[in-house]
Structure 1
Amino acid sequence: MEEINTDQLGGYASRFINVLLDYSPKLISAFLILFIGLYAIRLINRIIRKIMVKRNLDPTLTKFLADILLWALRILLFVTFISKLGIETSSFVAILGAMGLAVGLSLQGSLSNFAGGMLIIVFKPFKVGDTIEAQGVVATVQEIQIFVTKMTTGTNQTVFVPNGALSNGTIINYSMGGERRADFTFAVSYDSDIKKAKEVLLNVLVQNPKVLAKPAPEVFVLNLTPSAVEFAVRPWAKNSDFGAVFSQTLENCKTALEAEGISIQPYTVQK
């Protein structure tokens, strides 16, 4: 059995201690950066979440954006940490870039929808609970997801619209103003008393408690056709009362005109 060379072991130990002493400042500073960075990332993440909640962002999007920020900061911290240890980071960054490019090329459609979702968040053309018309659909927004917006139609059908197409198309938001006007056209016979007809129609609007006094409802002669005098009837209502006001105005105007003996001609209705 060979004898242990104590002098050789002592030399190894001495060199190890010297290397450790020389490397310890980098090691200590690297771990300090790591621990302080992790604490700072948690603090920043909490602050960002609070800001997004105060701005009334959708909870799903709030969590998603906060998670993206969290992992982006962690990757940045990791690169800084290994760089401080003296490890070459250029190859590591190049690998991350190549991976990002490959993923981006393979998921172009998804990235377009993701970017569309970000535009919706930033510019806020609508929010959860709004009734909108877009991509040929009129529905109420239920959830703004990462790649699609979930909506429910008046017939309780669930519609998923890609955010890319949604952000690039025309959006009509029926809820943003808080109030909404219904536009009707009633046609009466030329034999009717025009002033009386106008008075009857306006009285129907004024007597409806769900029709707003401001902006004031309007009734005026819109057009003279070969067969009838057309009246524009325009009541305003809160978004929550719009459906009721719309149907009540149709029914009450017809009943009131007939009660006064005013002949109603075929008419059109425009929302």
Structure 2
Amino acid sequence: MPDTQLIIDTYITPWSINIASALAIFIIGRWFVGLLAKGLDKVLTKTGMDTMLVNFIRSVAHIALILFVVVAALGQLGVDTTSLIALVGAAGLAIGLALQDSLKNFAAGVLLIFFRPFKEGDFVEVAGVSGVAEQITIFNTVMRTGDNREVIVPNGAIYSDIITNYNRRPTRRIDMIVGISYDSDIRLAKQILAEILAADERVLEDPAPKIAVAELADSSVNFVCRPWVKTDDYWDTKWAITEQIKLRFDEAGIGIPFPQMDIHLKREDA
């Protein structure tokens, strides 16, 4: 009986206390980390910081604090945390060499967040994908395409390629090529194009739109038609102007040629 009591006092009771303390540290610490993450989210949001940046900082802070809680809980169990940290560092080096692409995506995510070539809601073209940027996570960026598909693009592929942000500037220029037949009146065609642009309230006066004969092509005289509009009005204005050009040219009898080929057959007597 004394031996049993000695085992209880020497091993079972201390280990039970340590395990209970470690569990308490982990559970309470995890709960406290959640509160800190929410508080950090609210503080950063009130400062007007971009939503993508807020989410990224919150995710990194949450992971770092959870690791701190795990180390504290293991320390309560008697684990040598100094050796553990050294072991984790060595393991991290080995894992880092094995996961170079993931680390590349992580580093690119940090750069995307802090330099912010685009923000949430921007329509961008990155790594061959066009769509609305919805979220930047630690390793990838979530995109929503025009037909409502969700595309996940690795951050490394984004940062190492050309990034085109269609929403960064407040205005955009619509570049249109309008071809008319050679027997049509180019002065009348130019006048009609100018009237169409002047009648559309979305076309800006400054910068002024540009209409000019750009090319004498194989089967058409090509005009460049370049009005400036607000970025949000780009597509609606382009579609409306294209429709008006066809309608007005038809009314004025101005032909819009299409590619064609003349084939000459040579007959040879037997």
TM-score after normalising by structure 2: 0.70
Q: CA deviation at 1:139?
A: 0.9
1:49–1:66 CA contact under 8 A, matched in 2 = no
Q: Aligned residue for 2:56?
A: 61
Q: Aligned residue for 1:262?
A: 254
Give distance in 2, aligned partners of 1:226 and 1:95.
Answer: 72
Q: Secondary structure at the residue paired with 1:266?
A: coil
1:131–1:175 CA contact under 8 A, matched in 2 = yes
Q: CA deviation at 1:214?
A: 2.2
Q: CA deviation at 1:168?
A: 0.7
Q: Aligned residue for 1:198?
A: 190
Deviations 1:223-265 (A, max 9, x none): 1123221100112222221111111111001111221221222
Deviations 1:12-32 (A, max 9, x none): xxxxxxxxxxxxxxxxxxxxx
Match for residue 136 of structure 1 among 124, 128, 136: 128
2:41–2:58 CA contact under 8 A, matched in 1 = no
Deviations 1:116-172 (A, max 9, x none): 111111221111111111222211111112211111111111111111111111111
TM-score after normalising by structure 1: 0.70
1:31-110 equivalence runs, <5 A: 50=43, 53-58=47-52, 59-68=54-63, 70=65, 74=68, 91-110=83-102
Q: Secondary structure at the residue paired with 1:140?
A: strand
Q: CA deviation at 1:70?
A: 4.5
Q: Secondary structure at the residue paired with 2:162?
A: coil
Structure 2 letter corresponding to 1:180: R
Deviations 1:181-210 (A, max 9, x none): 221111112222222211111111111122
1:21-36 equivalence runs, <5 A: none
Q: Aligned residue for 2:5?
A: none
Match for residue 114 of structure 2 among 95, 104, 122: 122
Residue 251 of structure 1 pairs with residue 243 of structure 2:
yes
Gap runs ≥5 in structure 1: 1-41, 83-87
Judged with a 3 Å threshold, the aligned counterparts in structure 2 of structure 1 residues 56 and 197 are, in CA distance, closer, same or farther, namely same
Q: CA deviation at 1:96?
A: 3.4
Give distance in 2, aligned partners of 1:181 and 1:216.
Answer: 10
Give distance in 2, aligned partners of 1:55 and 1:218.
Answer: 39
Q: Secondary structure at the residue paired with 2:258?
A: strand
Residue 145 of structure 1 pairs with residue 145 of structure 2:
no
Q: CA deviation at 1:71?
A: 5.9
Residue 241 of structure 1 pairs with residue 233 of structure 2:
yes
Gap runs ≥5 in structure 2: 1-34, 260-270
Give distance in 1, aligned partners of 2:197 and 2:254.
Answer: 17
1:201–1:257 CA contact under 8 A, matched in 2 = no
Q: CA deviation at 1:103?
A: 3.0
Q: CA deviation at 1:51?
A: 5.4
Structure 2 letter corresponding to 1:257: F
Give distance in 2, aligned partners of 1:229 and 1:259.
Answer: 19
Q: Aligned residue for 1:112?
A: 104
Give distance in 2, aligned partners of 1:65 and 1:240.
Answer: 34
